[in-house]
A and B are shown apart, each in its own frame.
Chain A
Amino acid sequence: MSEPEVKPEVMRISWGPQHPMSGQTRILIDVDGEVVRRIIADIGFTHRGIEKILENRTFIQGIVPIERMVMADTANIALGYVQAVEEALGIEVPERAKWIRSLICEMGRINSHLYAFGLQVECTGYFPAVFLWTTVDREVLLDLFEKLTGARWSYSFFIPGGVRADLPEGFRDEVKRAVKYLRRRFQDYWDAMVENPLFEMRNRGVGVLSREDAIRLGATGPVLRGSGVDMDVRKDEPYAAYGDLDFKVITEKEGDCLARLKVRFHEIEQSLNIMEQIADEIPGGPVRTKVPLFPRSKPGVEALSRVETSRGELGVHIFTDGGLKPYRVKINSPTLRNMYVFERLAELDRVLVADLPVVLYSIDPWYLDCDR
């Protein structure tokens, strides 16, 4: 990346990758005393060429590399790809498989939001306990994943034509038990962290993104909904079983870091409701239709799928040329769009050096998602 020139009145700091909170990316900041004048995100620092890798894999092999985009939220990312493949190849999915997909996606969303919540709380300077608590609470979900898919972390569970396996015996009761446990824990978090006056002081009115700016800059996911825009692909273009499920789209008006945190927090509650609904009302039937191991595509087909991942809207665009592999896969990732918003926030609002990690983690960045 070519570095823009430094003005004489500011000091340029390379914020990362050698920084406790930066993660594996590099962000350049121009600081004038305590005030951040300019943020330059080094987008492409962790580029791994996932789009190119997908061109060299068959349709089903492609599920594994695309999951590596966001490890905390593999279900939603893989669903975006699998749905695009199904559309390109014209594969029908049974009803029960769609419900199981929704269940796993919501569990993945909670998993990812827990991670984001823990990191943002840690950024405000809590000693790292909250992050570790959320990590421990995640175990409940990981155990469920293990029981269902055989893997705790990157479960390539969705395949074109359905899901790999049916729910194991007694799984629905375990889901309900996990929901009950997590509800109790989230009440604790709300009381201890979000209602703590000092925590509010650090988050309220920090990194404010107005409704107009959020739309203009193309923010997505909780960042967009935190600025008061009612947009969620699950409601707008229902996929999987979301058309039959009853949930609300959470929005907050303020558009600051606290609003984004609250959006995530309430979204977790909605996800828990969805998990309960699915456990109660899941229809019977088969979980997959037969699809050949190496499905051959028709030439010149274009397929686009939109999925609401935990970070925002993911678009997967597949072109086929009639071979065993996709001709081109274009991924529009949510973190990339939010990183542009993050870069502009220093101009839109006064961001201090102390606010920088809070603002960064309030958009919930996942650099591998951003750079693909």
Chain B
Amino acid sequence: MDVVTLIWLYILGLVRWLLKEAPLQVINFIRSLPTLIPELLKWLWDFIWFNFKPLAQIIVIPGLAFILLFAMIAVWFERKFLARAMLRIGPYYCGKRSGWLQVIADFLKLFFKEFVIPDDAEKALFLAAPVLLPTIPALAITLIPFDSNWVLFDAGGLSLPVFLAIAGLAPVIPIFAGWAANNKYTIIGSFRTAYLYVSGEIPLVICAAASALLAGSLDLVEIVEAQRPLWFAIPQFIGFLVFFVGLILEAERTPFDVPTAETELVIGWRTEFSGVLFGFTMMAEYVSFLGWTLLFIVLYLGGYLGPSLLGVPLYDHIFWMLLKLAVVVVIVVLIRTVYPRLRLDQTLRLGWNYLMPLSLLNLFLTLILKWGLMI
């Protein structure tokens, strides 16, 4: 039999099934509905009941609601704080109190604006990039422990390397986005991103390795538990500082916002994004900032541990994590009001000439400390 005959036979069979069998099956299905619906509901109820905690984690913390809420609150706070410094009216007073209405107005504006796709752009990649951008740091956030048994994705004692691996993917997307937009400013901006990540990420990884070495584990929960007597910010003081600078660099915030420098490159690799696509890239900046800040808190500021008074640690709770997050965010926003932007070469010099040797020194000191403790 040749292929054409086979196709004809298949179509004929399909028609026969539609005429003879299909109505019967539909009738059977409708008859069984009264018994089926309660079963379905029960299954759903059981699913929710037995998986209540992971579902809550996915939806609330550290899942969607937390990330979106963080982005909104961080934007609101940053704009209000800057408005105070800039003597601006809108973001400071809008909505009678505390400028909350300005965030919503901006969100609505971005959401309902027409977005333009340039004629010469690589359309699929251009549309995919803004969606992928916040996703990668959000994936990394699932590895962060918010309590000793509040980890969304338990990587089985390898959570630190997995976090670094996922976060290491992040700069690929801006490079693709800049290339896909097919604009000269975006190209320059995306290559700046690549340079910046290389100079910033290596010191970060070395610092994280030193922390893991001191804790004797690659599991983030165990790293936090190892900080019960003393937060690592003190024995790893150099690493603490280097990681702080590195996280600002990784999150592309002032004074290292080189790839999206407004006065130089319009807005860098984001130039061609408009409307809701631009909104996604804005959110991605905050999500990536959130991811690195949470890792910073876990590695150096004792994660979910409360401050210990006279050797007695206070009640461990997710509250401490959020409080520390707020403090770090306020400090980083404060930095934005004080410093101008560094040039690309100055940023790279900072990364390779200062952060890199300091992080190696930190690793070396940690080795000596560990060796001393073992003896």
Contact = CB atoms under 8 A, between A and B. Distances in A.
A and B pair up: yes
Interface string A191-204: 00000101101100
B264 A127 contact: no
Contacts of A136: 87
Contacts of A128: 86
Given A198-B255, A201-B346, A124 B87 contact: no
A19 B263 CA distance: 8
B337 to A, nearest CB: 7
Given A125-B255, A127-B86, A356 B343 contact: no
Interface string A320-355: 000000000000000000000000000000001111
A292 interface: no
B368 interface: no
Nearest to B195: A34
Interface in A8-50: 11, 13, 18-21, 31, 34
Contacts of A127: 82, 85-86, 254, 336-337
Nearest to A124: B340
A123 interface: yes
B335 to A, nearest CB: 10
A133 interface: yes
Main secondary structure of the interface of B (DSSP, over half): helix
Contacts of B345: 34, 352
A132 interface: yes
A201 B347 CA distance: 11
Interface string B81-98: 010011110000000000
B252 interface: no
Given A127-B82, A132-B86, A357 B188 contact: no
Main secondary structure of the interface of A (DSSP, over half): mixed
Q: Which of B82, B88, B266 has the most CB of A within 10 A?
A: B266
A11 B261 contact: no
B343 A352 contact: yes
Contact of B87 (A34, A132, A357): A132
B336 to A, nearest CB: 6
B184 A132 contact: no
21 contacts: A34-B345, A124-B263, A125-B254, A125-B261, A125-B262, A125-B263, A127-B85, A127-B336, A129-B85, A133-B87, A198-B339, A201-B342, A202-B340, A202-B341, A202-B342, A352-B344, A353-B265, A354-B264, A354-B341, A354-B343, A354-B344
Interface of B: 82, 85-88, 184-185, 188, 254-255, 257-258, 261-266, 336-346
Given A20-B263, A132-B88, A202-B341, 5 more contacts: A13-B184, A34-B345, A124-B263, A129-B87, A132-B87
